Amino acid sequence: MAIIEIQKLTHEYKEYDEENREREVVRALSDVNLNIEEGSFVVILGHNGSGKSTLAKHVNALLMPTEGAVYVCGKNTAEEADSWKIRKDAGMIFQNPDNQIIGNVVEEDVAFGPENVGVPQDELSERVAMALEKAGMEAFRMESPNRLSGGQKQRVAVAGILALKPKCILMDEPTAMLDPSGRREVLNTVHELNRKEGITVLLITHYMEEAVRADRVIVMDEGHPVMDGTPKEIFARVDELKEYHMTVPCVTELAYELKKAGVALPDGILTKDELADALLKAREDSKEQSGADKA
């Protein structure tokens, strides 16, 4: 069953000039149709201004559709009465780790969500412990968030969402402000949550490397999904990706260029190991070929 259904979604931002007159209408999303399957790990790629963040805010009922509709777990985001339930089912992680932590102590922050939905007091502490454990942050329960690294702060934010027991986690460029080790830390955490807990993950990013391990990759451009498929399928179309201003991972690009130059390689190579194996295999094959020719 699709956990998120997006039907003909259009979103327009209005820009006003100094005298409050409408100056321009910007179409951030136009006629988007998407279904996200429960338990899947979906990455949405796109350069700046492609509408990917706007899309995430729609799924979290932070924005209302100009046209069309968004359903999360069968609930329409346009129904104001349901917006708390939707936000509980589909928690959202934002880009800046500092600007989404509310508590002065890690455990206070993790408890913030469940406190808001009125989880009874004796259950709160359990939920905090559970969420911190799943995010691998139980050692930091009594720390001040100001003492944590960026990656740790994002994991606290993940724990804050987990404490609400969501079915789905939306992440809006959660790694854009982190260093490489922090990025790895956060991504490993969500991949594990997806695998072990079956939580649906919708990750929005402009780092293509982060899409490698996904089940499904959607590329957005000018408010529209333009490519949709498994990472292998998407990364095989290097020229097309470049058209949408995406930088392809080095390994994939190298493999692509080698293939163009005549090396017999399969499509959509994503990791170094894969490339190394494929190259070895290609060499063996060509040896066999030449051996056969000689004979």
Partner 1 sequence: MIRDITLGQYYDADSVIHKLDPRVKLAFTIIYIVSLYVGNTVWTFLGAAAFLCVVIALTKVPVRFMLRGMKSILVLLIISALFNLFLVSGEPLIQWKFITITKEGVRMAGLMIVRLILLVMGTSLMTLTATPNELTDGLEKSLSFLKIFRIPVHAFGMMMNIALRFIPILIREVQQIMKAQEARGADFESGGLIKKAKAMVPLLIPLFVSAFRRANDLAQAMEARCYHGDEGRTKLHPLKYQKRDLIAYLILLLYLGAMIAQAVLIR
- Residues that bind partner 1 in the complex, under the rule CB under 8 A: 57, 60, 62, 84, 87-88, 91-92, 94, 96, 98-104, 107-108, 111-121, 124-125, 128, 145-146, 160-161, 164
- Whose tokens are 């056969």? That residue is 292
For residues 61 and 187, which CB has a smaller minimum distance to partner 1 in the complex? 61
Residue 216 and residue 228 in contact, taking contact as beta carbons nearer than 8 Å: yes
3-state secondary structure (DSSP) of residue 55: helix
For residues 29 and 248, which CB has a smaller minimum distance to partner 1 in the complex? 29
CB of 108 to partner 1, least distance (A): 6
Residue 6 and residue 32 in contact, taking contact as beta carbons nearer than 8 Å: yes
Sequence length of the chain is 295
CA neighbor of 79 nearest in space, from 87, 165, 56: 87
Instruction: List alpha helices for 82-230, DSSP H.
Output: 83-89, 106-116, 121-134, 150-162, 180-197
CB of 114 to partner 1, least distance (A): 8
For residues 124 and 226, which CB has a smaller minimum distance to partner 1 in the complex? 124
For residues 145 and 225, which CB has a smaller minimum distance to partner 1 in the complex? 145
CB of 93 to partner 1, least distance (A): 9
Residue 43 and residue 203 in contact, taking contact as beta carbons nearer than 8 Å: yes
CB of 18 to partner 1, least distance (A): 18
For residues 164 and 275, which CB has a smaller minimum distance to partner 1 in the complex? 164
CB of 105 to partner 1, least distance (A): 8
**Helix 106-116 vs helix 121-134: angle between axes, to the nearest 10 degrees?**
120
For residues 123 and 277, which CB has a smaller minimum distance to partner 1 in the complex? 123
CB of 26 to partner 1, least distance (A): 18
CA distance 97 to 119: 25
